[in-house]
A and B are shown apart, each in its own frame.
Chain A
Amino acid sequence: MSYKILSLGDSASFPGAHPLLDKAERDGDVALVLGNRVPEALERLGKRDGYRAVVVELDMECLGVYTGESRGEEGSNMLGFARFRLGSDPASNLIELVRQPATPQAAIDAARRVFESAGLQVAVCKDVPGRILNRLIRPYYNAALRRLDEGLASAADMDITLKLGLGYPEGPIGLLERTGLDRHYDVTQTLWEAYGDPGYVPARRAQIAKQRALVEAQVQAWTERDDEIADD
């Protein structure tokens, strides 16, 4: 399966070298649209019917934003994707591939094959906020942070319990502090707005981390301004 890449703006999924980028051709059966300037890139791509699949990079938004939706019958050769990453961790090997109700199976298969040919794993899901992983894990992370505040157990005991008891590679508290509680805030706040489900309400510790990150950014801006004034 040959594919081409059209890249415009920053790509969170493929910020650096990757076999997927190396194997792209000038033209191909599948078009991958990378970067955060999707509407512009689609404009440049022009006619989309000729491709087996046109796959656009998504951030937190849904694919429907670019395709439009109607009557639950939407679906074309256009799919969405995001490479999963947890906070400041490097991007994982997982591609969440987003389909719509009437997306043809052939388009899904074509898109899947492109990613798999570059050594990535693909999980197909419908076009919902948080897709699979964020939708599943954020309530668990919020609950862990809340229970830590409530004194269920120490952070170390909670982490070791989930590692030894369930074989998780890392406990929730260690993982969130390592990858950025403020980043957890951003994702779970978006999902809270989308679903109104209390499980997504950012836990107190995530709220504090976010506010602290904002304060630190402000201090940084002041310091830089003062430095500039001193330089003048």
Chain B
Amino acid sequence: MSTIKTVGVAGSGTMGSGIAIVAARAGFRTIVYDVSQPSLDRARKQTEGFFAKSVERKKLTQAQVDTILGNLSSTTDIATMAQCDIVIEAVFENLKVKHELLAKLDAVCPPETLFASNTSTLSITEIAAGSGRDERVIGMHFCLPAQLMKLVEMSPGLRTSDEAFQAAWDLCKAMGQIPVKTKDNPGFILNYFLIPFNNDAIRMVEAGLAEPAEIDRAIKTGLGYAMGPLELLDLVGLDTHLLVAEALYAGTHEPRNQVPALVKRMIAAGHLGRKTGQGFYKYSGNAMFGG
């Protein structure tokens, strides 16, 4: 049972808009805050599109969607967030930006309001340190796309109270998600294991040990994974991989997290993956070549 009634989401980009869908769909009054009105407008349009599909696929009725969308509002005025029992932040992955945001929220929100961070690579304790209420800050790492993926990695910071963590955990469940508890460690569980594995696969290509398609086939056939590491990297984008891997390396200094030189060369060449038509594979429309 969650005592939370109103969920705030700060940041209406890729993750924030997905998290807002999760909260609103579960029946919570949801307020999305962003500094950028165009971003809020884009998110609203995508959200309406998402729910229209849910109606088309008969997962929800039009009446249900009307209620959900009625519960979901947006604002560029941070003072509105005073109504929230929890604010989940999904703004840029930058400690300074997150500190500035949380300090402002601390000034407008009641002292009980929980702050959660969707950070992928920053420390929850460090984020909490700039919040003015570090015992009420929790890590809540949703997976992309948040509106479809159930998993949420939840981490207490060093000073997070048990009561705050439990309240966020209960909310996560009430939103229909599956929470797992991890320490406040760089990359939590997912990225901590995924990034070095992907780097090793890239190093294998770099060293000419096997072609990308051979490596992906080995992984899929031998281990039953749905996707090989190089296909996955093309989907995620090598620029995104570089950002996450560099942050993880900065936080761990573990050699496997260090980005192979090939990644920077590929980025310089415009080979970012699917979105530029070429990464480890070549793409044309939805078709993949070299697989």
Contacts and interface: CB of A to CB of B under 8 A. Distances in A.
A143 B218 contact: no
A143 B215 contact: no
Contacts of A106: none
A162 B189 contact: yes
Categorize the interface residue count of chain A: 35 or more
Contacts of A124: 210-211, 214
A161 B227 contact: no
Interface string B206-236: 0011110011011101111111010000000
Contacts of B64: none
Interface in B145-204: 149-151, 153, 178, 180-183, 185, 189-190, 192-194, 196-197, 200-201, 204
A158 B222 contact: no
Given A92-B222, A126-B209, A164 B150 contact: yes
A46 interface: no
Contact of A140 (B193, B208, B217, B227): B193
Interface string B106-129: 000000000000000000000000
A161 B153 contact: yes
A93 B223 CA distance: 10
A174 interface: no
Contact of B189 (A92, A136, A152, A167): A152
Given A132-B215, A162-B189, A162-B190, A152 B196 contact: no
B143 interface: yes
B218 A165 contact: no
A137 B219 CA distance: 9
Interface residues of B, number: 40
Closest 10 CB pairs of A and B: A123-B218, A94-B221, A125-B210, A164-B151, A157-B180, A94-B222, A121-B221, A84-B222, A161-B189, A132-B218
Interface of B: 143, 149-151, 153, 178, 180-183, 185, 189-190, 192-194, 196-197, 200-201, 204, 208-211, 214-215, 217-219, 221-227, 229, 255-256
Interface of A: 84, 86, 92-94, 96, 121-126, 128, 132-133, 135-137, 139-140, 143-144, 147, 151-154, 157-158, 160-162, 164-169, 172, 198-199
25 contacts: A94-B221, A121-B217, A125-B209, A125-B210, A125-B214, A126-B208, A132-B204, A133-B223, A136-B200, A136-B201, A137-B197, A139-B200, A139-B256, A140-B193, A140-B196, A143-B192, A143-B196, A152-B185, A153-B180, A153-B181, A160-B151, A161-B190, A165-B143, A165-B151, A169-B223
